[in-house]
Amino acid sequence: MVLIKLILRNIFSHKLRSTIIFIVISLVFSIMFLFLAFADGTSENMVNSILSITKPKCDIVVTAKGFLESKEANEKLEELNKMTISDYQSIRDKIQQLSEVSSVYVHTQPVNVNFIINEKRYKPVNFFGIEPDYSKHITSNVNITEGRFFENSDNNVILMHSSVGKQLNIKIGDTITTVGTDLFGQSITENFTVIGFYKSKIDSIGLATTALIDMNGYLMISGLVDGEASTMNINLKKNASLKESLTKLRQMAKDNNLNIEFNEFNIFYKNIEEIKLYAAIKIIVMFLSFIVIFIIMFGIMNVVSLNLKDRRKEIGSYYCLGAEKWFLNIMYSSEILIINVLSSIVGLISGLILRFIINSINITTDNPGFQIVLGGEKLYLGFNIYSVLYIFIIFVLITIITSFVTLGSALKVSPSVAVREVEE
Amino acid sequence: MLLYVKLILKSLLRHQKSGKKLFVFISLCMVTIIILLTMMDSFYVKYLDEIINNWTSHIRIVSKNSPKLKPNSAFSVEEENLSLIKIDSKIEQFISNMPEVQAYSPVIETYGNFFTIDSDFQGFSWIRGIVPDSISKVLPGVIITEKNANFNYDPNNKDIPIVRGFPTSSEIIIDNDKFQKKDFRIVGDKFDNFKKQVIKDFPQLFSDTNIEKDTNSQIFISSLNKSLLDPNLYKVIPSTYFDNYDWKIDDTITKIKSLDPNSKKEIAKWNKRLYCSLYPDIIFPVPEEITLNKPLTLQVMPAKNKEILSSPIIIPITFVSYAKGIPMYPQPTYIDINIFREYLDLESNECTDFVIRLKDKQSIQIVKDKIQKYLIEQNYDYKVIDFFQADTLGTPIATSFSIVILIPVILLFCAIVIFILNMIMLSIIKRKREIGTSLAIGMTKGENIIIFLGEVFIIVTLSWLISIVVGSAAIIYLANNGLSGMFFFNSNKLFFVLDFKYIFLAYILILPITLLSALIPCLSILKFKPVEILRETN
């Protein structure tokens, strides 16, 4: 109790010095937090823009048995395409019966084919089929800028990215002819009517080559039959355990003799190149921040050491009053720790406030290069608890190193200093 | 003046210890700032150079319909017909006569797919038809991995030599000459049955007595791998496998017979294929790795007048080398433009781009304007674009990375301001008695402030001098050896450019900041009353 009292008294009796350390650490913490939030935001943006359509985030991915193994064994694409789930409607019903499951939907493999409009033939574009159950999920990720979204009665209709509509002067009601080969290498031609244009909520110009079509049309150009699908995505309820759900799902498949397998999303899509790129950028950002923090640590040590030098009389007085060195060590270390932790918390809070403000300003860009850097059209600062922990750990390390380096020599004070009239 | 200098120096000597700490701190900051600013500039310059040297060159002449003229061209949907231009001898003559021009070449840019002789898809690539001898002149950054590779078309050779874009990580195939557990489609009981079948078919290869106890199949797989090295493996295939003709088995045996028995890797790879032909439902197909000097086919779409279901053009090719370009960009494949034109049914002066490299980057605008003016005069509607227009990604990436580096620099400046404030403030408190005495003997408050600021000036200047040595040494080292881990560059390294402007900039920026930071606590001296100070300290 006495120790805590003394620590707090010391902090307040040297208000100005404590404030300076406090400001520095808060400022550095806050900027470091924003710096890493930028790196986190780019990958979050990527997940919420292009990947939200091409590889939508879910908890569990359902495929035909052996699909993942074959994929990792570099099985030919045509062979992989043959590994499909049959009668997905009944499988979906069975999965939905599990209390942990929030939603299940089919996610289609893209069919990469050319298209013809206004008598011009264009390079291949990825056509994704939108199954009615998937509609609910995709509408939370895309905005319809013109026209309408899919309806159950739709047959051979298409939604194109708004940038393509403008670029190729496509209008609602126009007919697009797809030309190429289906998932099994068979030639196809199919007409689609344009019903509208979409934009991802966090848009990316990279989506220009992604077109959305209704499920009937998709069956025509993919070569799949009704009830056949390559992958299904499962979202679990908030409190459901992933491991337990996987065990239950696998048991359900075994009991019903279903030729399907369940994999965690992160295992199924562990090699997403885009995410790897942003992870590499984050490492560079972390490295740069580490260098800066190291130099600032030297500055903090300097200030703390000078502060302690200036308090020699105070230290001497403690010795006169019978304080042991370990006691002073604990007291001064705790003082440094309290200031550092409090300022880190303030730094984090101010960083969060700044993050909120910057995200609210809604800074966007049309430039494809900047969109690559930002992961989408919008500057978004993300939040990752590991980044916060990284900065916290560094600051705790700074505190420990500062205590070790500065206290050792600063506490070598003779008690006589306390009673000397003027310090040397 | 001399007295000031004397007083400042004396004061510095008297407070050596705290002065030294400030000196080390500012030196560290200065060195880091110099390195970071140089890194920022080097990244920007080198990255744009990388794009010019590998991807765009300095200037291009393109058709008015070229997709490169469209905004956001990097991601726009492009028409499959090529936007062609005709560069006649008059234009070529005009360009070659320009003193600023170093090299030029017509280029045809399109895309194509590679297929093996077995019709297996082996990848797709951005294809560049170019005059082979000019590649090192117009795109000097492109690394041709085989030093003596020649991709000039020789009519005596059936296959057209091409330089393949460096395979991406997903295209590189390893371990296709040995078995691993992941090579099998089946597990559990089915795999045990397969093991029994293989042991029954090839009893002589599985003599290990422990094979029965081989629960995790390690002995089985290692025996299988040993058998891959046997050039006569095909001779022990049970005759039942030949009851019905299987072209895959037949072709594979023919290939193995033609191999040099000492080329173990090739033998192992083809024996693995042999097993795959014998047990196609159990063993995954053995992928063909991308190698040089092997016959392949290249499929490209016709350059013009495409019908709804037009067939692709098939070109027999062989890879003679790999070409390494900028990471994160497509890796183009290079082919002799003359033979490419023949296959695409184009005239001898047709191309999609006419690429021009200049002697000096500074003259881009002048040359661009001159060529554009000439083309208008000659009634051509072609457009002249520079590398900024030809590539919409490089500049924003370089700018963004520079901003990322600038943030720590700003942070360091903030830290300097706050630490200097604190240190000077402490010094003033510590030296109250000294200041009081000097005021008592007649020195003015302003003179005291000058002495303080003088000390800061000397410390910052000395720090700067040291940081010139340390910073320059570090930059020279990084200019020669490069900073590793920079995956943006072809060499994976960023080579710094020593630019003294940043050394001076660091001083010009830090000196006023430190002096201002020191001035704020120094102003408190103005409030000092000598009698009170002396009384207080006593």
> Residue B175's pLDDT is what?
72
What pLDDT band is residue A222 in, cutting at 50, 70 and 90? very high
Total residue length of chain A: 424
What are the two backbone dihedrals, phi and then psi, of residue A102, each rounded to the nearest 5 degrees?
-95, -45
* Chain B residues 492-511 with CB within 8 Å of chain A: none
Give me B227's structure tokens: 């058998």
B212 pLDDT above the threshold of 80 = no
Over residues A150-164, the pLDDT tens digits come to 988 889 999 999 988
Q: Where are the alpha helices (DSSP H) in B135-187?
A: 135-138
Please compute the mean of the pLDDT values over residues A34-54 and round it to a whole number.
86
CA–CA distance, B82 with B65 (Å, rounded to integer): 9
Cβ contacts of A203 on chain B, cutoff 8 Å: none
> Residue A132's pLDDT is what?
82
Residues 6+ apart with CB under 8 A from B178: B225, B228, B268, B272
- Indicate the pairing of strand A175-181 with strand A111-117: antiparallel
> Residue B438's pLDDT is what?
80
> Residue B94's pLDDT is what?
95
B516 pLDDT above the threshold of 80 = yes
Domain boundaries, chain A: 2-51+274-423, 60-271
> Residue B208's pLDDT is what?
63
Please compute the mean of the pLDDT values over residues A116-136 and round it to a whole number.
87
CA–CA distance, B426 with A283 (Å, rounded to integer): 38
B31 Ramachandran zone, left/alpha/beta (phi>0; psi -120 to 50): alpha
Interface residue B69 vs chain A (CB under 8 A)? no
Give me A304's structure tokens: 């703390």
> Residue A418's pLDDT is what?
61
CA–CA distance, A195 with A148 (Å, rounded to integer): 6
Percent of chain B scoring above 90 in pLDDT:
36
- Of A230-239, A257-266, B21-30, the range with the lowest mean pLDDT is B21-30
CA–CA distance, A383 with A38 (Å, rounded to integer): 9
- Indicate the pairing of strand B101-115 with strand B353-358: antiparallel
CA–CA distance, A101 with B265 (Å, rounded to integer): 50
CA–CA distance, A164 with A328 (Å, rounded to integer): 70
Q: Which of B36, B78, B284 sits opposite A123 (nearest CB)?
A: B78
> Residue A359's pLDDT is what?
93
Which residues, in sequence order, are bridge partners of residue A218?
A: none
CB pairs under 8 A between A and B: 174
What are the two backbone dihedrals, phi and then psi, of residue B330, each rounded to the nearest 5 degrees?
-60, 145
Pairwise pLDDT comparison (B442 vs A115), residue with the higher score: A115
Pairwise pLDDT comparison (B526 vs B7), residue with the higher score: B7
CA dihedral A93→A99→A100→A106, nearest 10 degrees, is 10
Residue B220, H or E segment: helix B218-228
Number of helices and strands (H, E) in chain B?
16, 14
Instruction: Please answer yes or no on whether B80 and A122 come within 8 Å at the CB atom.
Output: yes
Q: What is the mean pLDDT of chain B?
A: 86
What pLDDT band is residue B223 in, cutting at 50, 70 and 90? confident
> Residue B365's pLDDT is what?
95
- Cα B417 from chain centroid (whole Å): 37
Over residues A280-298, the pLDDT tens digits come to 778 888 888 888 777 777 7
Q: Which of B36, B77, B399 sits opposite A122 (nearest CB)?
A: B77
CB A416 within 8 A of CB A316: yes
Give me A64's structure tokens: 């035909």
* Chain A residues 239-268 with CB within 8 Å of chain B: none
B249 pLDDT above the threshold of 50 = yes
Type of residue found at B146 = E
> Residue A424's pLDDT is what?
45
CA–CA distance, B333 with B111 (Å, rounded to integer): 9
Interface residue A163 vs chain B (CB under 8 A)? yes
Please compute the mean of the pLDDT values over residues A300-325 and round it to a whole number.
78
Over residues A346-373, the pLDDT tens digits come to 999 999 999 999 999 988 888 888 888 8
Over residues A168-210, the pLDDT tens digits come to 889 999 999 998 889 988 889 999 999 999 988 888 878 888 9
Residue A266, H or E segment: helix A265-268
Chain B: closest CA distance from residue A102 (Å): 32
> Residue A416's pLDDT is what?
72
pTM of structure:
0.78
